Amino acid sequence: MINKRLVMIPGPTPVVRSIQDQMGRETVAFGDPGFVKDFKGVIEDLKTLLGTTGEVFVIAGSGTLMMEMAIANSLKSGDNLLIVSNGFFGDRFNTFVLSKGINVDVISAEWGKVVPASEIEAKLKEKTYQAITVTHVDTSTAAVAPIEEIGEMMKKFPETLYIVDGVAATAGEKEHVDAMNIDILFTGSQKAFGVAPGLGMLWASEKAMARRASLGPIPEYYADFDRWLPIMKDPGKYFATPAVNMIWALQESIRIIKEEGLENRYARHIKNAKAMRSALEAMGFSILADEANRAVTLSCVLYPEGLDDLKFRTVLAEEGAQVAGGLAAYAGKMFRMGHMGNIDDHDLVSATAAIERTLYRMGNDVLGKGVEALQRGLL
């Protein structure tokens, strides 16, 4: 018999039944009064949840659209952007901003480490940047950036917008838009919100909205704040068809988050991450990110000498758990495992046991070691 498939990649994350049910509802017209009320509630809840007096945008698309939207509404041709990169997704900004005529400087950390706030500050003193981007958790390294400390430092540079990529962080790692001095924060539905892929969410501070206004018309159409703002203020209006069922799914995800309590959710992520990592270490793996900056949402897990990546992930999939491969220089050397969103103790135990069975089938008998370490961590 084939095992159930446990999606332990760093997004999409497992989608719980009650969220699936919302996706399976009969679709209604986007002008349906019930749906308009639900959409309005989602926008208001997201503002409160992440703490902003600014605006929230909920749009059909993935995290990459949100990256583009953040840049398009903050910078014009000739502006200066500082990209703070802690890995593959930090670097991704640099793949599309150049074609917009934006001048780019990049400060990068070695994979597994993060650029400290002091280094960013030194760079910001050299010239005026209209914006900086920081990836809260880079999914290629599972290193977490000190976004609160950076936000505090950014108070010295009021001309510069602080853009945070929260795709692998929001609703799992602690974030507060206004209190952390963040101007733009964005994420995708498929990560720590535990919804299937399909929605992008973006929070824009009052300062970010003022910057958008100062730009005048921009070349982008679908990604323009100004096209969407009337809809976010009154979801009964039309600009482009909203993803009705996905918005219901997000509404259910928000209900789950409110029921758990955001602070409890953060605490659960910390506990789960510690337990999962002690289990991985007990099975002979090691963790890429420095101890001081390990994310709670996922882990990048280095193989012990001699363990073949492709074989490991293939056998693990047969045992019922899917993890992702390493990126760039770490392809073949590590796997990436998500432990964010609405995963519970059953998921963690099952995933750990599946890894044990995989190792056993590959000639490495560590049966019980991972599960014991995990359960001790969870308890």
Name the site residues for ligand PMP (rule: CB under 6 A).
Answer: 11, 62-64, 67, 89, 135, 138-139, 165, 167-168, 188
Under DSSP, is residue 165 helix (H, G, I), strand (E, B) or coil?
strand
Q: How far is the CB of 168 from ligand PMP (least distance, A)?
A: 4
Question: In this complex, which beta carbon is closest to ligand PMP, that of residue 164 or of residue 232?
Answer: 164
Question: In this complex, which beta carbon is closest to ligand PMP, that of residue 138 or of residue 319?
Answer: 138
Chain residue at closest Cβ approach to ligand PMP: 63
Question: In this complex, which beta carbon is closest to ligand PMP, that of residue 200 or of residue 242?
Answer: 200
Q: How far is the CB of 2 from ligand PMP (least distance, A)?
A: 27
Q: How far is the CB of 11 from ligand PMP (least distance, A)?
A: 6
Residues 6+ apart with CB under 8 A from 99: none
Q: In whole angstroms, what is the distance from residue 249 CA to residue 243 CA?
A: 10
β pairing state of 161-165 and 184-188: parallel
Q: How far is the CB of 190 from ligand PMP (least distance, A)?
A: 6
Question: In this complex, which beta carbon is closest to ligand PMP, that of residue 136 or of residue 211?
Answer: 136
Residues 6+ apart with CB under 8 A from 147: 134, 136, 164, 175, 180, 182
| Structural contact between residues 289 and 142, judged by C-beta atoms closer than 8 angstroms | yes
Burial class (CB within 10 angstroms; exposed 0-12, middle 13-18, buried 19+) of 255: middle
Question: In this complex, which beta carbon is closest to ligand PMP, that of residue 138 or of residue 347?
Answer: 138
Q: How far is the CB of 313 from ligand PMP (least distance, A)?
A: 17
* CA angle (124 as vertex; 118, 127 as ends), nearest 5: 150
